[in-house]
Amino acid sequence: MKIAVISASKTNLEAIRQVLSGEGALARAVLLIHGGMEHLGPVADQERPDLFILDALCHGPEDLAAVEQSTSRHPSMAFIILCESQSPELLLQAMHIGVRDVLASPVSPPALLAAVERLERKTAAVAAPLHKGRVLAFIPCKGGSGATFLAANLGYMLAAEQDKKVALLDLNLQFGDASLFVSDHVPPNTLADVASNITRLDASFLASSMVEVLPNFGVLAAPEDPERAAEVKPQHIEVLLNLARAHYDYVILDIGRTLDATSVKALDHTDQIFLVLQETLPFIRDAKRLLHALHGLGYGREKIHLLINRYEKGGDIRLEDVERTLEIKVSHTIPNSFEAVSKSVNQGVPIVQVARHDPVTRALREMMDELVAGGESPKGSWLSHLLHNA
């Protein structure tokens, strides 16, 4: 931070210099000016400091008018004023023109250091790039596809094996049950509860509303009563996702088959959309319809990925047939492993806990590793080649 100090007192200048050269000094460039308010305009225009400290110079409205001129020309410039007397009128006018702090002069070193450090923290927070987690949506092409199982287990593995902070949001508002796949705990709140309290939503409230599966993995459950689904509006989803992606590395959405205003608002925030299907004609037919709808909503091919669940080699319908019919490459295949998956679902625990080396677990781990390692390939598909693992 670049700091300019103007004071008519050399003694005060030296005292302020000693304060600023202490803790955090390496991050500060300090310019000391001995003189009066006549230096304010030229130093502000030429040196452009981040912070001005004016010592015993603002005695009345005319002095604050000069400060206001500088704050108008340089809105990002901060001011701390040190005054021998602090009348209510002076404090009020200083606040109106944007002065950050008004302290007594001669200044108390701890008070000045605290004021400078507050400003440094605020400046660092503004300058730091905002965290922006990735939003992944899983949509079943037909009931029974296994989309919720894949979404929940991928989220768990990202948290448990990659130490990522993950939120799974159950947006299947009518009949969502995502939390049951990874936990037997009763949800403290549901998405409908969050929506009805959207004005008080912050990171703490969101975390406390979720089922905590791991310290870094939570599930926000769908409403228990399908009638409460109507309480969740698109504007609630907008606020929720903006907050979630600012505090989580991955936000995974389990979206039902219904494309309405709420689910479309959620899809607008996604980085990737995964359509989950099986190699049967009914699934392929519905996948074609869903792809057509998604393209009509403006989601490009680079955003949409096909996941074939319960894949078995040598079936009547080959991967090539699926790709030719849907005119899109299959991103990944999840092998058929009925016994391990059933055990995981019936016990309500992630598959990695009951069958760590099962083919389904390995396939999910490959998805997770490639997702974390590089995201999309240069050609725009999430995975660079077809994986035919059994």
Domain 134-374 in CATH 3.40.50.300? The answer is yes
CATH superfamily of the 2-127 domain = Response regulator (3.40.50.2300)
Q: Report which of 241, 236, 254, 242 is spatially closest to residue 193, judged by C-alpha positions.
A: 236
Tell me how far apart the alpha carbons of residues 352 and 11 are, in angstroms, rounded to a whole number. Answer: 68
CB 253 within 8 A of CB 171: yes
390 pLDDT higher than 50:
no
Domain with CATH 3.40.50.2300 in the chain: 2-127
Q: Find the helix packing angle between 61-73 and 88-96, rounded to 10°.
A: 20
Amino acid 25: pLDDT:
63
Degrees, nearest 5: CA angle 223-288-220: 20
Q: Torsion-angle region of residue 171: left (phi > 0), alpha (psi -120 to 50) or beta?
A: alpha
Amino acid 23: pLDDT:
66
Q: Are strands 304-311 and 330-335 parallel, antiparallel or unpaired?
A: parallel
Average pLDDT over residues 204-228: 94
Amino acid 182: pLDDT:
96
58 pLDDT higher than 80:
no
Domain with CATH 3.40.50.300 in the chain: 134-374
Average pLDDT over residues 10-25: 84
